[in-house]
Amino acid sequence: MASFIHLNDGNQLPWIAFGTGTALYGRDATESVRRALDNGFIHIDTAASYRNEESVGRAIKLSGKSRSELYITTKLGKLQKPGETVRSALLTSLSKLGIEYVDSYLVHNPAHHPGKLRQIWEEMEEVKREGLTKSIGVSNFYVEHLEEILPVATITPAVNQIELHPYVWRSSKPTIALNEEHDIVTSSYGGLSPIVRFPGGPVDAAIEQIRTRLEKTRGAPVSNGQVLIKWLKQNGVVVVTTSSKAERIREYLDTINVPDLTEEEMKLIESKGAELHRKAS
């Protein structure tokens, strides 16, 4: 079952994506992406700086799925070569991916473009107008970065992808609020950090309590990971996650069938997360 989030430019994107950073950084992602596509993912999230776009493209081709069935996100890295532009960087990514357009193209990190964010955003708008990408957005942009580009933007970013989980929710609230003010969808990476990277923290007991209740309500197994993913989804956040295991991939996608958290359960995870600030990146 697919579920989509509507963007401010009229397009829509799947609520969950298979990410090819972190564990797949600089590695051949062919088998991992094929496994994700074979098990139901349709949204693949990659980046020039992950150094695996060619293998992602190979997996897309081997999957046998039509381009229109898939949603592909990639990201602009640091422009290092003389004369390199947003357009030339995107064309290089498209060539590696073996496709004619991406669905979303994001500025990966504002730190890559000191003093040039406005110019970079103008070039991002140009590649959207040219049809090389359907939507444009940003990643790792916080309030100060958004406030730099929004005054000159004739096309507002559609997406802002940031590290997001209960242990950074409180510190991210100003950015989330600014995203909402401009109808920018918040996308998340590192969403499972509380149980994968920082186990033993204050949200653990809350997650287990909620998991038990959801499992009883559903009459079928519910995992701790599904509780966190469901929490993000109910907050209107796109989830970017990854796994090398087919059963885990199916579990993540199955989260859409898990009953909703109650308002009290949503607040409990937020309040427990506010007791600790831990960032994965």
Q: Which of 206, 202, 218, 223 lies closest to 265, judged by CA?
A: 206
CA distance 102 to 29: 18
Residues taking part in catalysis: 50, 108
DSSP 199: T
Written as one string, the DSSP assignment of 18-65 is EE-SGGGTTS--HHHHHHHHHTT--EEE--GGGT-HHHHHHHHHHHT-
CA quadruple 240, 243, 244, 247: dihedral sign: negative
DSSP 108: -
DSSP 134: E
Counting every residue, how long is the chain? 281
For residue 244, give both structure tokens: 């090398």
